[in-house]
Amino acid sequence: MRHVIRAFLAAAFVLLLVLGTVVFQLKETRTVNGKVTVEEDKVQQSVQTKDELNLYAQSAVLMDASTGRVLYGKNEDIIRPMASTTKIMTCIIALEYGNLSDEVIASQNAASQPKVHLGVYKGEKFLLKDLLYSLMLESHNDAAMMIAEHVGGSMEGFAQMMNQKARDLGCSNTYFITPNGLDAKEEKDGQVKEHSTTAADLARIMNYCIGQSPKKEEFLEITGTQNYSFQDLDRKRNFSCINHNALLNSMNGAFSGKTGFTGGAGYSYVGALKDDGRVFTIALLGCGWPPHKTYKWSDARKLFQYGLDRYRYKDVFQETRFDDIYVKNGVPTSGRLEDPVMISCGISDSEEKSLKMLLADDEKITVEAEIPKELKAPVTKGQTVGSVVYRLNGEVLKSYPVCLKEGADRLTPLWYAKTIIKDYLSMPGVKSIFPFY
């Protein structure tokens, strides 16, 4: 009987152990396209944000191009490789620091770049302008390297220019190594850094290219062109380029953009659309891998349509009334010490009394006047003493300075002496004693 009980207990223990292991594995695995992936779900949950649009992209953002405000985001601040969307930065740097008529000679390094490439030979010469169309329409990797070596002196020198521009634009989560966006890593300052950005940073760079750069018109001309043909400078070969930004022909208002793909980055896209005064930019990173090449177009349309349907410009400026401010130890204009010194204030007349913001119907602006109740003399007319702050979800959208409409001197012993003398001289009969006063 003892042997039977022992055997039963042993079997029960083994069964519990097996069940515990199975439950643990179920928690740590999930099924993706019929395949079990261990711990991937845990990683995804650590970065996943709410995504009501059910986008394919691992990271995505819709941005108001005029202000840089994020209108919709999914993991928009997660750092990821960005493939050939890199080339919008390559293009704008070349436009700002190079000349379209520059002659560019292909190095062996440029000629050895992998597909997609123009297929240049070492020593072959091209106009910088033609290479920029090759770069942005067909995404040629050798064209990118030729541009970088010409403008920056070397790939490394050009990368420094790209990274400096990113810092200037406030893109603190972006790091460039190559001009073409091929997957790359390097050791820098004791750290291994990856060629990467975030969806939010990529959209900010696009905002600069289409709206703030002194070369924005040239950028828009190139990225909005459907077809372009050119020759090498020795007229030995002919080349044709077709723009691979499918939205230019398939979505009203789309006017600029760049696609990208590498094995590490997956499919990516950055683009811009305008409608009725509104300009939206989007960025998609990790938007599927082969054979899902069309996922990026589905996501792009969803994001742009979300912006078109939801956001409208509204003038949120409000006329604000201010109480007069008491000025301590100020000289009263009446000359009577018993009168308090109260100074009026308001928003400067030089400020435009209009504030148009791209807002959804359910978004509310808060307006708060930050004005002191008391000031110490002396104060001057036009002096800034406070502000009127417009906020959305706690974020400051605009701050108007509030200035004094008049000034006030400080009470001093000399002022008291002058006032006493003046009062004395104004007494009946005193003026006849001092006729010269």
pLDDT attached to residue 35: 32
pLDDT attached to residue 55: 97
Domains and CATH numbers, the chain: 54-311 (3.40.710.10), 325-415 (2.60.410)
pTM of the shown model: 0.80
pLDDT attached to residue 359: 96
- In b/e form, how buried is each residue of 38-60, taking b as 16+ CB within 10 angstroms? eeebeeeeeeeeeeebebbbbbb
The more confidently predicted of residues 217 and 349 is 217
Query: What is the distance between the alpha carbons of residues 46 and 43, in angstroms, rounded to a whole number?
Result: 5
Asked if the model's pLDDT at residue 45 lies above 80, the reply is: no
What are the residue numbers of the active site? 84, 87, 139
| Percent of the chain topping pLDDT 90 | 75
pLDDT attached to residue 87: 98
Query: What is the distance between the alpha carbons of residues 83 and 268, in angstroms, rounded to a whole number?
Result: 7
Asked if the model's pLDDT at residue 416 lies above 80, the reply is: no
pLDDT attached to residue 106: 98
Q: What is the mean pLDDT of the chain?
A: 87
Asked if the model's pLDDT at residue 5 lies above 60, the reply is: no
Arithmetic mean of pLDDT, 268-281: 97
Q: Model confidence over 391-408: pLDDT tens digits?
A: 998 999 899 999 999 999
Asked if the model's pLDDT at residue 64 lies above 90, the reply is: yes
pLDDT attached to residue 76: 98
The more confidently predicted of residues 23 and 51 is 51
Q: Model confidence over 238-265: pLDDT tens digits?
A: 999 999 999 999 999 999 999 999 999 9
pLDDT attached to residue 305: 98
Q: Model confidence over 203-251: pLDDT tens digits?
A: 999 999 999 999 999 999 999 999 999 999 999 999 999 999 999 999 9
- How far are the Cα atoms of 85, 103, 211, 213 from residue 204, in angstroms, in the given order? 13, 31, 10, 12
User: Which of 117-131, 267-281, 317-331 shows the lowest per-residue confidence on average (mean pLDDT)?
Assistant: 317-331
pLDDT attached to residue 252: 97
Helix (H) or strand (E) holding 403: strand 395-404
Q: Where are the beta strands (DSSP E) in 263-392?
A: 266-275, 278-285, 311-315, 325-328, 342-343, 345-347, 356-360, 366-370, 374-376, 384-392
pLDDT attached to residue 339: 84
Asked if the model's pLDDT at residue 33 lies above 90, the reply is: no
The more confidently predicted of residues 361 and 6 is 361
pLDDT attached to residue 13: 40
Asked if the model's pLDDT at residue 59 lies above 50, the reply is: yes
pLDDT band for position 431 (cuts 50, 70, 90): low
pLDDT attached to residue 100: 98
- How far are the Cα atoms of 48, 55, 191, 233 from residue 101, in angstroms, in the given order? 47, 42, 39, 11
Arithmetic mean of pLDDT, 359-386: 93
Half-sphere exposure (Cβ direction) of 128: Cα atoms closer than 13 Å: 20
pLDDT attached to residue 24: 32
User: Which of 34-38, 316-320, 321-325, 380-384 shows the lowest per-residue confidence on average (mean pLDDT)?
Assistant: 34-38
pLDDT attached to residue 29: 33
Sign (positive or negative) of CA dihedral 141, 143, 148, 154? positive
Q: Phi/psi at 162 (nearest 5 deg)? A: -65, -45
The more confidently predicted of residues 285 and 338 is 285
pLDDT attached to residue 350: 83
pLDDT attached to residue 435: 57
